[in-house]
Amino acid sequence: MTDLAPGLGMSALRAFAPSPPDDQLFCPDAIRDDPGLGDLVDEQLIDWARHVGIYEGRLDKLRSYGFGRYMMLAHPACNDPDRLLMATKCLVAEWATDDYYVDEIELGADPRVVGSRLARLLHTIDPAQLVPRYAADMADYHRLQPISEAFRTAVEHLSRYATTAQLGRFQHQMAVLFLAWTQEADWHVNRRTPPVWEYLVQRHLNSYLPPMILVDVLAGYELPAHEFYHPEVRRAFTTAGNAAVLVNDLHSGPSESDNDHNLPRVLAREEGLTHEQAVARTVEIHNELMHTYVELATRLSAVGSPNLRRFLADTWAWVGGSRRWHATTGRYNKPNGS
Ligand SMILES: CC(C)=CCC/C(C)=C(\C)COP(=O)(O)OP(=O)(O)O
């Protein structure tokens, strides 16, 4: 692993700072924390959210989540507030979809229509080509949907920085994410808890790859397609994305509604573990994935291009920033006494 790009990856590799409640995690900590930069991005994010109409009446909550801070922590190679804002818009468009269409019944989520909503929404990411008379009807529909407006403007912002290939990967990863959300809707409609392996497949599709896939866009380079899509690189990258999303499961579990799924809950139901045992097993699975990432990244760093080494180091840094955000965000951590 010492072959990873100097400056970015190395300090992260050394920093296994414990941060309760995840002090057993084999995971780096953030390698940059610039609160001023995070606040700046968050201010601009709230203006954008107000403009497109998402989280209406809940902008204070949105502010407390610190999604701009998240991107500041996860992309230490980027100091440009506008690029960070672009990544934050993409992240928040995804999260708003998860909240309003998939997870939160009181915000209008309805598992019976998740598939239709997501299929319509995909147009804002990978435009559907219709004849003009029906395209106008479709445009009328999207104009009234704040989430469509959020995705449309986020992708517009992304396309100012991403190459054609980087945009293509984003489109692909969104389709994968939407597929996973329809699988989740199936569990809800049929009141089914999946077996552990199926939950992990869903978390593989619904991992942190959608935001992670922008690491080179934010850092201002492009990992070329022949390396990005190399099966071993994909294996390393998806392994890191799967581990990172289990950190989400560990932190978000306590605030999730009873019908929601997370790995500790699935393990408890399917394997009869106590909550404590299920959390410990989740940490174990996370750590196994992270050790696999380190092995793969070490091997790939020895044979890959400088850009591939950089990409693997940026991925490692992203995971560390994500860990710090989960431990500190107002989404999962309430201030003392509240
Ligand atoms: C940014 C984003 C929504 C990426 C895809 C991965 C994903 C859906 C999440 C990390 C959210 O997972 P989850 O629904 O468990 O998160 P909350 O508990 O709702 O915060």
**Structural domains of the chain sorted by starting position, each given as residue range(s) with its CATH number in brackets:** 9-328 (1.10.600.10)
Check pocket membership of 103 for ligand 1, CB cut-off 6 A.
yes
Q: Taking the CA atoms of 265, 267, 273 and 277 in sequence, report the sign of the dihedral they define.
A: negative
Spatial CA neighbour of 201 closest among 257, 104, 266: 266
- Cα–Cα distance, 52 to 151 (Å, whole number): 9
Check pocket membership of 252 for ligand 1, CB cut-off 6 A.
yes
- Cα–Cα distance, 257 to 248 (Å, whole number): 15
Check pocket membership of 98 for ligand 1, CB cut-off 6 A.
yes
The pLDDT of residue 22 is: 72
- Which residue's alpha carbon is nearest to atom 20 within ligand 1? 252
Check pocket membership of 256 for ligand 1, CB cut-off 6 A.
yes
- Cα–Cα distance, 223 to 237 (Å, whole number): 12
| Amino acid at site 319 | V
The pLDDT of residue 169 is: 98
CA of 299 to the centre of ligand 1 (A): 30
CA of 294 to the centre of ligand 1 (A): 24
- The per-residue pLDDT string of the chain (338 residues; one tens digit each, 9 = 90 and over) reads 333 333 333 333 333 333 345 789 999 999 999 999 999 999 999 999 999 999 999 999 999 999 999 999 999 999 999 999 999 999 999 999 999 999 999 999 999 999 999 999 999 999 999 999 999 999 999 999 999 999 999 999 999 999 999 999 999 999 999 999 999 999 999 999 999 999 999 999 999 999 999 999 999 999 999 999 999 999 999 999 999 999 999 998 877 777 789 999 999 999 999 999 999 999 999 999 999 999 999 999 999 999 999 999 999 999 999 999 999 999 999 876 44
Atom of ligand 1 nearest to the CA of 181: 8
Atom of ligand 1 nearest to the CA of 91: 1
Q: Taking the CA atoms of 172, 173, 177 and 183 in sequence, report the sign of the dihedral they define.
A: positive
- Which residue's alpha carbon is nearest to atom 18 within ligand 1? 252
**Number of neighbours of residue 110 by Cβ within 10 angstroms:** 13
- Produce one character per residue of 299-329: b if its CB has 16 or more CB atoms within 10 Å, e if not: ebbeebeebbbbbbbbbbbbbbbbbbbbbbb
CA of 203 to the centre of ligand 1 (A): 10
Spatial CA neighbour of 218 closest among 310, 330, 149, 303: 310
CA of 326 to the centre of ligand 1 (A): 11
Inter-CA distances, 28 with 91, 211, 240, 243, 322, Å:
21, 18, 12, 12, 10
Check pocket membership of 253 for ligand 1, CB cut-off 6 A.
no
CA of 94 to the centre of ligand 1 (A): 8
- Cα–Cα distance, 275 to 210 (Å, whole number): 29
CA of 131 to the centre of ligand 1 (A): 35
**Number of neighbours of residue 223 by Cβ within 10 angstroms:** 26
The pLDDT of residue 21 is: 56
CB 274 within 8 A of CB 268: yes
From 206, 246, 286, 329, the mutation candidate for ligand 1 (largest count of ligand atoms within 8 A of CB) is 206
CA of 95 to the centre of ligand 1 (A): 6
CA of 49 to the centre of ligand 1 (A): 18
Check pocket membership of 96 for ligand 1, CB cut-off 6 A.
no
From 64, 95, 177, the mutation candidate for ligand 1 (largest count of ligand atoms within 8 A of CB) is 95
pTM across the whole model: 0.93
